[in-house]
C-alpha cells in the first residue's frame, strides 16, 4: 500500500513543503494537513489536531503565538469545508470514538447541531465565561469572532452617486438604477452557499419585507455565486456595481489590496455572525483543545483574530445599536430541517422571479 501525503511544515516565517510515501495506497485528500512542529523537542511533546474552515494563511500566526506559550505542542491543522467538518466529526465519533481536539467553523448552525446532538463536551473556563451571553450555549459552543454581513460596491461607479446606507435605501437604489445596473448586481446563491442561506434567514428576522428587496435584485438581473471571492473580484474590477450580504471580514481583507472596493455596514441593521469553537466529545486530547479554545477567547487571542481576519472587536459592535449579533442556540438549527430549508429556498426563487 502506498500512501502519499502532502504536508506543509511551519517554522516561524518559513514554510517547508514535503511529500513522502508510506504503505501502498495513494490518497492525498484524506491526509493533507498543515503541520506546525513543536518549538521544543522533548519526550513530553504532544500533538493537537484542529479541524477548521478558516484558511491556514489567516490562522498561521495565531497558532505560532499559541505555541510560544505551549512549546511542546505540535499542531496538525486541517483546512476543510464547513459541511465536511460536520460530517467528519460525526463519522469519526460514531466509528472510532476519537476525533479532532478542536473545531473552528463559520457554520454556526452546524456547530450548534453537533453540540445539540451530543458531539461536543462542556468546557469550564473563566475566560470563556466572560464571553457575552449570546456568544455561548451550554458551555459547549462559543462564538469567537464578530463578522458583519455587508454591502460592497465599486467606488469608481459610485463616485458621483449617493450610497445606499440602509436596506430600504438599497432597495430604492436597485429600483432607481434598474436598467443601468442590470446584470451588475451579485450575491450568494443560497442553494449552494450555506453562508448565503444563513444570512437571508437572519434577514427575515430583522426585516419583514426583505422579500421586496430580493425581488428588486431579481429585477436587476442579480448574478448568484457560491463563494465570496468571485463577487469581491468582480465588484472591485467594475464588472459588477454592487454585492449584497458579503462577509465583512473577507471584504475588508480584499479591500486592503483593492482600494476600489467600498464597504457599507447598513445603518438600520447589520447582522454579526461568529465563527464557533468547540471541543468534540471524543477529542483525543481534549485538554489541548480546551487550552486552544481558551487562548482564542483571551485578549491576546481576540487581538490576533481581529488583526488576522479583519473582524470587528466586541467593543466596536457595542458602540452602535445597528449591530445585531446572531444568538447562539438551538434556534440556529431551524433551517437544517429539510422542509423548512426547501420552503425558504422556494420563497427566495419566487422573489427572484426564477422558474
Q: Residue 336's pLDDT band (boundaries 50, 70, 90)?
A: confident
In angstroms, rounded to a whole number, what is the distance separating the alpha carbons of residues 332 and 105? Answer: 14
CATH of domain 3-145+275-311: 3.40.190.10
Cβ neighbours of residue 218 closer than 8 Å, sequence gap 6 or more = 351, 352, 353, 354
Per residue in 223-252, pLDDT (tens digit) is 999 989 999 999 999 999 999 999 999 999
Q: Residue 335 has what pLDDT?
A: 84
The answer to whether 142 touches 335, Cβ cutoff 8 Å, is no
Q: Residue 203 has what pLDDT?
A: 96
Nearest to 247 by CA among 219, 218, 225, 214: 225
Percent of the chain predicted with pLDDT > 70: 91
Domain 147-272+334-351 in the same topology as domain 3-145+275-311: yes
Nearest to 48 by CA among 109, 104, 86: 104
Q: Compute the average pLDDT of residues 154-173.
A: 97
In angstroms, rounded to a whole number, what is the distance separating the alpha carbons of residues 176 and 90? Answer: 49
Mean pLDDT, the chain, as a whole number? 90
Residue 41: C-alpha distances to residues 37, 46, 71, 219, 252 (Å): 9, 10, 9, 62, 39
In angstroms, rounded to a whole number, what is the distance separating the alpha carbons of residues 53 and 65? Answer: 20
The answer to whether 167 touches 280, Cβ cutoff 8 Å, is no
Q: Hey, which residues does 188 pair with through a beta bridge? A: 225
Per residue in 20-76, pLDDT (tens digit) is 333 332 233 445 799 999 999 999 999 999 999 999 999 999 999 999 999 999 999
Cβ neighbours of residue 98 closer than 8 Å, sequence gap 6 or more = 92, 282, 283, 284
Cβ neighbours of residue 290 closer than 8 Å, sequence gap 6 or more = 123, 125, 279
Q: Hey, which residues does 238 pair with through a beta bridge? A: none
Q: Which option is the CATH number for 147-272+334-351: 1.10.275.10, 3.90.180.10, 3.40.190.10, 3.90.79.10?
A: 3.40.190.10
Q: Hey, which residues does 7 pair with through a beta bridge? A: 18, 33
- How is the chain split into domains, by residue range? 3-145+275-311, 147-272+334-351
Q: Compute the average pLDDT of residues 310-335.
A: 91
Q: Residue 131 has what pLDDT?
A: 94
Q: Residue 314 has what pLDDT?
A: 84
Nearest to 39 by CA among 15, 61, 11, 16: 11
Q: Compute the average pLDDT of residues 212-219.
A: 97
Amino acid at each position: 500500500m502506498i500512501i502519499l501525503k502532502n504536508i506543509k511544515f511551519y517554522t516561524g516565517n518559513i514554510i517547508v513543503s514535503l511529500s513522502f510515501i508510506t504503505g501502498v495506497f495513494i490518497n492525498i485528500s484524506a491526509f493533507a494537513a498543515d503541520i506546525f512542529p513543536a518549538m521544543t523537542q522533548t519526550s513530553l511533546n504532544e500533538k493537537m489536531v484542529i479541524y477548521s474552515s478558516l484558511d491556514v494563511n489567516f490562522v498561521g500566526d495565531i497558532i505560532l503565538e499559541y505555541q510560544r506559550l505551549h512549546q511542546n505542542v505540535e499542531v496538525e491543522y486541517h483546512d476543510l469545508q464547513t459541511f465536511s467538518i460536520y460530517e467528519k466529526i460525526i463519522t469519526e465519533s460514531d466509528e472510532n470514538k476519537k476525533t479532532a481536539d478542536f473545531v473552528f467553523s463559520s457554520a454556526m448552525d452546524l456547530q450548534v447541531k453537533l453540540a445539540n446532538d451530543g458531539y461536543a463536551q462542556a468546557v469550564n473556563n473563566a475566560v470563556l465565561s466572560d464571553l457575552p451571553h449570546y456568544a455561548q450555549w451550554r458551555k459547549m459552543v462559543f462564538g469567537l469572532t464578530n463578522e458583519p454581513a455587508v454591502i460592497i460596491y465599486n467606488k469608481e461607479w459610485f463616485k458621483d452617486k449617493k450610497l445606499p446606507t440602509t436596506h430600504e435605501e438599497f432597495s430604492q437604489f436597485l429600483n432607481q438604477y434598474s436598467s443601468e445596473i442590470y446584470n451588475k448586481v451579485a450575491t450568494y446563491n443560497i442553494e449552494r452557499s450555506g453562508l448565503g442561506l444563513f444570512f437571508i434567514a437572519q434577514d427575515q428576522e430583522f426585516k419583514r419585507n426583505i422579500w421586496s428587496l430580493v425581488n428588486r435584485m431579481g429585477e436587476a438581473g442579480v448574478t448568484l455565486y457560491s463563494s465570496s471571492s468571485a463577487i469581491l473580484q468582480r465588484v472591485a474590477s467594475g464588472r459588477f456595481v454592487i454585492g449584497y450580504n458579503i462577509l465583512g471580514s473577507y471584504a475588508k481583507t480584499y479591500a486592503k489590496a483593492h482600494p476600489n472596493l467600498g464597504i457599507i455596514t447598513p445603518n438600520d441593521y447589520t447582522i454579526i455572525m461568529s465563527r464557533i469553537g468547540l471541543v468534540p466529545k471524543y477529542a483525543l486530547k481534549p485538554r489541548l483543545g480546551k487550552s486552544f479554545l481558551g487562548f482564542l477567547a483571551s485578549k491576546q487571542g481576540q487581538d490576533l483574530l481581529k488583526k488576522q481576519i479583519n473582524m470587528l472587536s466586541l467593543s466596536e459592535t457595542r458602540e452602535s445599536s445597528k449591530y445585531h449579533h446572531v444568538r447562539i442556540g438551538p434556534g440556529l438549527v431551524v433551517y437544517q430541517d429539510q422542509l423548512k430549508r426547501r420552503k425558504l429556498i422556494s420563497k427566495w426563487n419566487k422573489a427572484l422571479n426564477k422558474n
